[in-house]
Amino acid sequence: PPTSQLNTVLLSGETSGASVLKLVERPDSGGTCCSQSIQLLANHFCVEFDPNRSIYHYDVTVASVKENAGEGSSTPALGTGTNARVSKSDARAVVKTVFVDNPQFFSDLQVGYDGEKNMYSPRELPEGSYTVKISKGTDVREYKCTLKFAAKIDLTTATIENAIQALEVVMREYPANCRIARGRNFYSTAEVTDLGGGVEALNGFFQTLRPTAQGLALNVDFSVMAFYKRIPVIDFLRQNLGLQLNAPGRSYKIRKLENILKGLKVRVTHTNTNETYTIFREETFDLRGRSSSKNNVGSTTARNPTTVEKYFYYQYK
C-alpha cells in the first residue's frame, strides 16, 4: 500500500493486548499551516509492503556435529539451543545448504535470517532437524540445523516492535550476504583506503527502519570502519610495529606485539583445512622436546633441538 497507509497499519492499528502507539502530532498540522514550503533531500525512504501478508517466525539452532568414535553415531558438539561455537558466516552457509539440499520444502523461497536464532519466512516451513556437510578446503564438517516455529506475525495486529524486528531482518538479508556486516552497518571491499600500520578503511552504509507519522521509513547513512588488512601476520607486524625478524627483541616491543595480536582472527596456511582461529593468549613452544626427524616430530622423549620452522615443515609438508 502507499506509505501514507502505514500509519494506520503499524502505528494506530489495534494490537494484540498491547497499547496503541500514538506519535506526538506536529503543532502546525503536519506543515499545512506554514506560509512557505521548501523541498529537502533526506536520507530516509518510505517503505511499502502488503499489510495483509503474515510473517512466520522460526527459532533456528545450528550446532556442529562430531563423530562418536566408540558408538559410530553423530551427536551435536553443542548444547541444545546455542550457536556459541558457530560463527554467523558458518550458520548462514549451513542454512543456505539446507535450503539447497531440500528443494521439496524450500524451493524458490527467500527468507530473512539474522545468522543466529531468528528466521522470518513469508510462508510456513516444515519444522525439524537437517544434517548437512560444509567443506572448507579439504576439511569437511557436519552441522545440524533445527527449525522450530516461534510465532505468526500478522502485520495488521502485531505489536510494532515485533513487526519492525521482522522487517529489519528481511531488509538486512541481501546486504548481509554480499557485504561485510557489522551490526546494522554493511561494508564493501570495492573502496579501500590504506590507513597505514596494517589497517585499512572500508566504505559502507548504515540502515535501520523507523516508524514516522507518514509511515515506515528506511533510514540510510554513510559509514566508514577500520579493518585489519588480509595479509600474512608477519607482514602485518612489519607494517604495524616495524618488526625486523633478525633484530633482538625488546621487552616493550614484545608486550606491544602481544597486545596487538590478542583478539586477532587468523587463518592458518600450513594445512589445507582453511581453519580460522582467534588469538587469545601467547603460546609457548618447547624446542627442547622437539625432534627434527620426520618420524618422531613432536616427540617429547627426543632431545634433538630443532627450530619452529623445521618443526612445521616436517610436520605438515
Tell me the per-residue pLDDT of 12-40, one tens digit each, with 9 for 90 and over: 333 344 445 566 777 776 667 777 778 88
Residues 12, 89 within the same domain = no
Amino acid in the structure at residue 123: R
User: What is the pLDDT, as a whole number, of residue 135?
Assistant: 85
The position carrying cell 521548501 is 38
Residues 199, 253 within the same domain = no
Write phi, then psi, for 163 (nearest 5 degrees).
Answer: -65, -45
Residues 307, 285 within the same domain = yes
In angstroms, the first-to-last Cα distance of the chain is 63
Look at residues 117, 163, 122 and name the one whose alpha carbon lies nearest to residue 18.
163
- Look up the domain containing 74 and give its range: 54-154
CB 237 within 8 A of CB 260: yes
pLDDT, one tens digit for every residue, the chain (317 residues)? 344 433 333 433 333 444 455 667 777 766 677 777 788 888 989 988 888 889 999 999 999 987 543 344 444 444 334 444 788 889 999 999 999 999 999 988 899 999 999 999 999 999 999 999 998 767 788 999 999 999 999 887 767 788 889 999 999 999 998 999 998 999 999 989 999 999 999 999 999 998 887 788 999 999 999 999 999 988 998 898 887 766 665 666 778 888 888 888 888 887 777 778 888 766 655 544 444 444 444 444 455 777 777 887 787 77
**pTM, 2 dp:** 0.72
Residues 241, 95 within the same domain = no
Residues 224, 238 within the same domain = no
Residues 243, 194 within the same domain = no
Question: Looking at 162, 196, 228, which one is the last position of a domain?
Answer: 228
Residues 143, 184 within the same domain = no
User: What is the pLDDT, as a whole number, of residue 250?
Assistant: 64
168-176 contact pairs (CB < 8 A, 24+): 168/208, 168/209, 169/112, 169/113, 169/114, 169/118, 169/120, 170/55, 170/112, 170/120, 171/112, 171/207, 171/209, 171/218, 172/112, 172/114, 172/207, 173/110, 173/111, 173/112, 173/113, 175/207, 176/92, 176/115
User: What is the pLDDT, as a whole number, of residue 253?
Assistant: 72
User: What is the pLDDT, as a whole number, of residue 303?
Assistant: 57
β-pairing verdict for 185-196 and 180-182:
antiparallel
How many domains does one find in the chain? 3
User: What is the pLDDT, as a whole number, of residue 183?
Assistant: 87
User: What is the pLDDT, as a whole number, of residue 290?
Assistant: 42
Tell me whether residue 283 is in a domain: yes
